[in-house]
Amino acid sequence: MVALCGGTLNGLSFFPFLSDPARRSTFCLKLALVMMHLTFVGVLFGFDKELIHKTIQDLWYTTAYLLLLVATLAQYFITSGSSPGYVLDAMRAINEIDASRNRASSTKDQPASSKNSSVVIMIDRNQLEKNLLGSGTTSWAKLVMDMYSPGTSARSVTCTYCNIMQPPRAKHCYDCDKCVLQFDHHCVWLGTCIGKGNHCRFWWYIFSETVLSLWTGTLYIQYLKSHVSKPWWSYAIVILLLAVLSICLFFVLLLLLFHSYLILTNQTTYELLRRRRIPYLRNTPERVFPFSKGVCRNSYEFCCARSSMYRMEPLPTAQELGEKSRPYTCSDILSCRCCC
């Protein structure tokens, strides 16, 4: 028993991330997902001899399928390792920009004699971060408060866990223990939050996963419909895997359609499900999407105009909300008001 515990501790020392239960659980889920993909593809190529002959004749078909498999798994790990856009990182980035501007202005105001002298200053990195956070608190507070409606108190927009001011659409994630910009949800399978910085990658991942599942299911059905004699147990295994694949495809397809709807209306999962609990959305009518800029512009900004994950959206004014809540007329439909 002692030897077993000692071996376990030694194993954890070689893999430090396994000592954390949360990270160990995420690692096991990632390993299970990769093994599930390899199992579906391995059984398909192991059982279907016609697919092997088709691969020899039409190499492009199987190559495209395997490339889609590799691209899906790569997109999964890229999304899993991406940052959702943390509020603290955004605050540091803005403070660093302010600090660099202040240094540039102070250097410009210095006399020529002081510019010629070279001085080397050693600063601890932790101390530098504290200085940045402390020196730019006023500018960050002003930036955040300008995004809210007049009369909003600073205490009501300050996170009680991180003790930093949250811009609109940000929320504290209890799993990551950080505030996330444009928080959507915390994905257990990915082991990270989905937010401003990686929502686009997440959508492309579930899109590629949906296409891969459809293609794999089609190959399984073609195997069952082929007239080549096969043992009964291969039928049982393929039917069982096809049933599991159909259930996974159903949920992935629903997830893809749901997030496509969120993109077209510029919403997040948290905003949609907790609309009545979010202060700045509580008095907004159900059919009004306050951050929507039209279907075309929402899609463009989500996919193409993502120059910075720290770009934040202010709350719409009362005039803008009144314009969005105005009923559609025939002229609005002809002018494609919902699109732009």
179: nearest Cα among 93, 81, 88: 88
State how far the alpha carbon of 195 is from the alpha carbons of 172, 255, 328, in Å: 11, 16, 31
Length of the chain measured in residues: 340
| Dihedral sign, Cα of residue 133, residue 134, residue 136, residue 139 | positive
Instruction: Find the catalytic residue in 173, 179, 187, 193.
Output: 187
- Cα–Cα distance measured from residue 234 to residue 231, given in angstroms and rounded to the nearest whole number: 6
Query: CA-based angle 293:294:297, to the nearest 5?
Result: 75
Query: What is the Cα–Cα distance from 278 to 272, expressed in whole angstroms?
Result: 10
Burial (CB count within 10 angstroms: exposed 0-12, middle 13-18, buried 19+), residue 154: exposed
CA pseudo-torsion sign 14, 17, 18, 20 = positive
DSSP H or E segment with residue 172: strand 171-173
**How many angstroms separate the CA atoms of 131 and 146, rounded?**
24
Query: Rounded to an integer, what distance in angstroms lies between the CA atom of residue 11 and that of residue 306?
Result: 42
* Distance, CA of 308 to CA of 154 (rounded, Å): 25
Distance CA 64, CA 288 (A): 43
Active site includes 28?
no
Contact by Cβ (8 Å): 203, 60: no
Task: Supply the residues annotated as catalytic.
Answer: 187
